[in-house]
Amino acid sequence: MCVQLCGGENKTLDMEHLPCSCRTTCSESEILSISIKSLAGERRVAMLTLASKLKRDEGVKTGRAPGGPSDSSHRVSIRDRLLIKEVAELEANLPSTCKASFPDENKLHHFQLAVSPDEGYYQSGKFQFEINVPEAYNMVPPKVKCQTRIWHPNIAETGEICLSLLREHSIDGTGWAPTRTLKDVVWGLNSLFTDLLNFDDPLNIDAAEHHLRDKEDFRNKVQDYIKHYAR
């Protein structure tokens, strides 16, 4: 913390670690201005910026006073605290074929994911996903939509996605659970182009039947879509 004292000299002080005598001497009338330094560099990754925000928030934790925020507001706070931690985890475990970006670094609940498969039918394409995390997270899954038109058995041309872990209610235990995190969602989306590519339980039935009927023609159509929509 940078503090300008009456003597005109600027000092960088940590008020919590000052000797008791100094804290007594430095009265409120002696402090003329306080400035807080911002994180350096426009190119600093948003995830790191928001991780430091969590540390600041943790330092000023207080209980809710009577007449304070509603349960809905409290729920948002829980979501945001979870997301700051999960984004840091995601950054450390992001697949090499994925890139996450945050249009507003103060809103972790809304971000973009670009997946660029390096093998299989969809190699050489770049597919954009929009991920929105609702206020009730982590009791409910994120909402995900593919923004790139694609010929895929598990992704509709209008952007809807069939991925088991995004199902809020699942009788086979593969759906969403509060133990899952953003890392699971991102890895699941990435795997839709490799391990989780599923022609037996399709969302886009026409694409699945096309693959069954003529695999080479299916490949050609996938590449045609990539050429027009996924560069």
Active site members:
162
DSSP bridge pairs for 127 = 115
**Residue located via tokens 């002696």:** 30
Neighbouring residues of 197: CB distance < 8 A, sequence distance ≥ 6:
120, 121, 152, 153, 154
Asked whether the beta carbons of 219 and 123 are under 8 A apart, the reply is no
Q: Give bridge partners of residue 130 from the DSSP assignment.
A: 112, 145
Helix (H, G, I), strand (E, B) or coil at 93: coil
DSSP string covering 197-213: --SSS-SSHHHHHHHHH
Distance CA(120)–CA(205), nearest Å, equals 20
With residue 143 as reference, give the H or E element that holds it. Answer: strand 143-146
Decide if 197 contacts 120 (C-beta within 8 A): yes
Cα–Cα distance for residue pair 201/52, rounded to 1 Å = 43
User: Which stretch of DSSP H or E encloses residue 115?
Assistant: strand 110-115
In which region does residue 115 sit, left (phi positive, over 0), alpha (psi from -120 to 50) or beta (all else)? beta
